[in-house]
Structures are given as structure tokens and as C-alpha cells.
Chains A and B, each alone.
Chain A
């Protein structure tokens, strides 16, 4: 009997070996990505554990920041994230809608788009200087939650605009044409069809900015975050503590801080960001499910 015409040839065998090596390498690199995340989390938990307790979450720092908890910093971070997103999310989403749905491709639109791209590339320390110059001094808002949040808002705005535009552009043109042919105005089309079908993409962009706003130190350091405050902020005109700032303080500015405190603070910061994200994702799921108009 002759050899099977379908027996593996030498060439095919080589191809197959290369294929399996390639796949293994790609899978390996991908798997490696889990390492940094687990390593960071593991380190924080192990090193921070001695300091973690209910009191750590619910009390103010004491003994010159070398003991006590981070409660005022948690509250401050929530203020900053909340106020900054309350400004940047609506402004950014509205601008994104305008740019994607209404703007004609003229020089003004090109300028605006260029400005947004460049704004996204501005380092956060420059945002900080801008915040001091404009909000704190020029507009006379002083060092306050408002100044710090507005600075954070300017910083997060370009990404929110860009992700909004992207989410809107992903909505098929055919949906819009369907509405127009029934005599819907641009706004009716946006309201009834475009937004319901892009809202989760838009919110994803906003959610990503939560961690950005919560994590940055430079923009809030000179505009509204304090090293230490004995009281909680009562309004946006007060200063506040913030987790990112507190982390910076206890790790570099204050001598004799027990090693566990910075790690525990970082863990709290991560958890706060994750919690806020989880709320946002739940809200997004809720919107998606209730897509009724």
C-alpha cells in the first residue's frame, strides 16, 4: 500500500512547531500580566495588614500622622472625585456629542480637536500650576475643594471627550438615517437612538477617570488638599485631606511613620477606587437594562 496522501510532510511539521511555540510565547506574555497586579495587591495586603483595622478606616490620623486612621482622607477623596466628575462628565459628554454629531469639519472644529489632544498630553504638574493660577488666584476660589476639583476636571476632560466621541462614532449610521427619514431632528435622534446605544461606552470612559482623579497628587497639592486637617470639609469652599496626598505625606514627609501605614493607606485608596467603579458599573448595567424611552 502506498503512503497516505495526507501524512504530515516535513514542511507542515515545521509550521506546526512554529505555531505552537508562537502560541505559547503569546499566552505566556499575557499570563505574565497578572503578575504585577497580584504582586502589588499582595504586597499592599501583607505589608499593610498590621495597620488595618476598623479604627484605621474610621478615625483621623493622630500623633503627628504616625498613628490613627485615614477617615478624613477617604472623605476628602470622595469629595474631590465627586465634584470633579460632576463637572467634567457633563461638560465632556456634551462636548463629545457636539463634536461627533453636529460639528462640521471646518477649521474651528479642527482647532478644538487639536486642543483636546494636546490637553490630554499635558503633565499633571502643569495642570497643578494652571489650577493655582486660574482657580486659586485669578478666580479667587482659594485653596479649596472647588479649586482642586476643577483642576482635576480639566485634567480628566480630554479623555472623557475622546471616549464619548468614540462611543458615539460606534453607533451605526443606519440608525441615524432611520430616524432622519422619519423626520426626527438631530437632537431627537441623539436622545432616542444614539445615546441609548452608546451610553455604556460613554460611561466606561467616565469610570476610567475615577481612578485618575482619585490617584493624582500633584494637581490637588497646591489647589485644595491639605497635609492634615483636624475637621471634615463642610462645603466645597473648605480644604480637605485626600488619600493620594496622605500617601505622599506619610511615605515621604513625616519621620518615624510605622511602615504599615503607607501600605494600608494605598490599599484603602485602591479599594475606594474599586468601590466607586463598582457603583458606576452597576449604574451602567442598570441603564443598559432599562433602555426604554
Chain B
């Protein structure tokens, strides 16, 4: 595996005239969990959405610079968005299971990308079980695979949203404040899951919760006004920040 799962070079993003990302050079370690922290509006979500190019859906978005995933600039002309998104999955702030059954949610990705002959019943069942086990849902849901996913608790929904990425064997999973819609108990369970997934996948997590960043991440980046102020091992960042602005933020002087 490559040492870094994502590298950016001079990454800029404009919403119309507004420069939301101001030429970022940032790298995320493979097989590790990286956290993005920073005050509201500093561009965390924007940055995350650059990595699977989902920003482009919105009008007037313009991107400059490079984002290298698997030795390849994903903004180059020969990048197929469908292939990119198979490799770089995303989990959103609010759990967004599709209004289908648990089973169909998990298998949706496989059904999209593999023709019928590769998905006989046993392959599908195996993928279903593996994915649900990986997110600690199998025991809870194995007898209710045909329940509508939208009726599950938010915690289970969010786990399901992670699980449905797994059959596609992503390199990187991007998570935008995956716990902000959940209560502390559910948050703890998701954090436990994140620690289990680390190693098998490279995780990039945006969070407002600094304690969470400390608990789950290996590396942490502090962003401010569209720039990365500092990125280091999480412990180092929190214990001995180099930049005064980082220190102010983690001591809660603004935010």
C-alpha cells in the first residue's frame, strides 16, 4: 500500500468568487485515521467533498490544484467519477440510508457495479454478512434484513451507511461529522467501530468534537479560514501545538 492515501497539491476551491480552500498541501496516511478539526465555516466539509468530487454537483464550484489518490490526480481528465467513488466512500452528517430494506441498502453498491453473473445468491449473502459484521450490526439485524432501513435507530442507520460502502472495497472512507446527529452512547459505539475499521481502511473524519478527534485519530489537522494551520500526530497536536492559533482553538478560546 502507498504510504499516503490522499495527497493534495495547491488545492484551491472557489464557490463562485469566494475562495473556500486557499491552496492546501495536505497528506493523509494510509491505513490510519485522520481527523480534521476547526471552527465552523473553515472549510472542513468542503475539503472532504473534494476527495470524492461530490462538490461538483453544486453550481459555480471551481477546483484548482491536484488531489492524488493511488498515485493518480483525481482531477485529471481520465478520472471516471463512478470508479473514483467506488474507491473513496463517504458517510454523511445525517445518516442517509436509502428508503429500501437493510439488505438492499448493503447490496446496492454491488448491484450497481457488477453484472448479474458475479452476484449469485451466495456471493450476495456473504457480502451482506461480512459487511454487517464489520459494523457490529449482524447480530442485531440478521433476523430483520428486510426491515426498511429508515426505521432503524439513528445509530444503526449510521452504521448501515458505513456498511454499505464496504462491499465495494473502498481505499478511503470519508466521514463528515458522523456522530453529530447521535447521542453520547451511540457516539461511543460509532467510535468503537471506527477504531475497529482503522487498519483495514484509511479514514478521514471531520469532527467538531475535539475529545473525539483525540480518541479516534492517529493524525489531526487544524483548519482555519480555508487553510491548514497545522497537521501532526494527534497527541502532539493536542499536547504541544506549534501554532498559537491551534493552541487557542484547542483551549477553547474561539470556535
Q: Which residues of A contact B (CB under 8 A)?
A: 104-105, 172, 174-175, 177-185, 188, 192-193, 196-197, 291
Contacts and interface: CB of A to CB of B under 8 A. Distances in A.
Given A183-B85, A183-B86, A178 B97 contact: yes
B54 A178 contact: no
B165 A182 contact: yes
A197 B82 contact: no
B59 A180 contact: no
A183 B168 contact: yes
A104 B98 contact: no
B109 A183 contact: yes
Given A185-B82, A188-B112, A180 B98 contact: no
B90 interface: yes
B59 A104 contact: yes
Contact of A182 (B57, B85, B99): B85
Contacts of B161: 178
A184 B165 CA distance: 12
A180 B96 contact: no
B54 A180 contact: yes
A172 B97 CA distance: 12
B112 A181 contact: no
Contacts of B90: 177, 181
A182 B87 CA distance: 9
Contacts of A175: 96, 98-99
Nearest to A104: B59
A181 B98 contact: no
B92 A174 contact: yes
A25 B161 CA distance: 50
Interface string B107-126: 01100110000000000000
Contact of B165 (A172, A180, A181, A197): A181
Interface in B205-247: none
A197 B99 contact: yes
A188 B113 CA distance: 11
A144 B100 CA distance: 46
A174 B89 CA distance: 14
A184 B96 contact: no
Contact of A105 (B59, B82, B165): B59
Contacts of B89: 181-182
Contact of A193 (B82, B98, B113): B98
Contacts of B108: 179, 182, 184, 192
A194 to B, nearest CB: 11
23 contacts: A175-B96, A175-B98, A177-B90, A177-B92, A178-B96, A178-B98, A179-B108, A181-B52, A181-B89, A181-B165, A182-B86, A182-B89, A182-B108, A182-B109, A182-B112, A183-B86, A183-B109, A183-B168, A184-B82, A184-B108, A188-B112, A192-B108, A196-B99
Nearest to A193: B98
Contacts of A183: 81-86, 109, 112-113, 168
Interface string B69-112: 00000000000011111100110101011110000000011001
Given A174-B92, A181-B85, 11 more contacts: A104-B59, A105-B59, A177-B96, A178-B96, A178-B98, A180-B54, A181-B90, A182-B164, A183-B83, A183-B84, A183-B109
A260 B164 CA distance: 66
Given A105-B59, A174-B94, A174-B96, A181 B113 contact: no
Nearest to B59: A105
Nearest to A179: B98
Interface string B31-60: 000000000000000000000101001010
A196 B108 CA distance: 15
A181 B54 contact: yes
Contacts of B86: 182-183
A291 B89 CA distance: 26
Given A182-B89, A183-B168, A188-B112, A177 B59 contact: no
Nearest to A106: B59
B162 to A, nearest CB: 11
Contacts of B98: 175, 178-179, 192-193
Contacts of B164: 182
A177 B168 contact: no
B193 to A, nearest CB: 18
A174 B99 CA distance: 11
B168 A182 contact: yes
B204 to A, nearest CB: 14
5 nearest A-B pairs in the assembled complex, by CB-CB distance: A174-B96, A183-B85, A181-B90, A182-B109, A183-B86
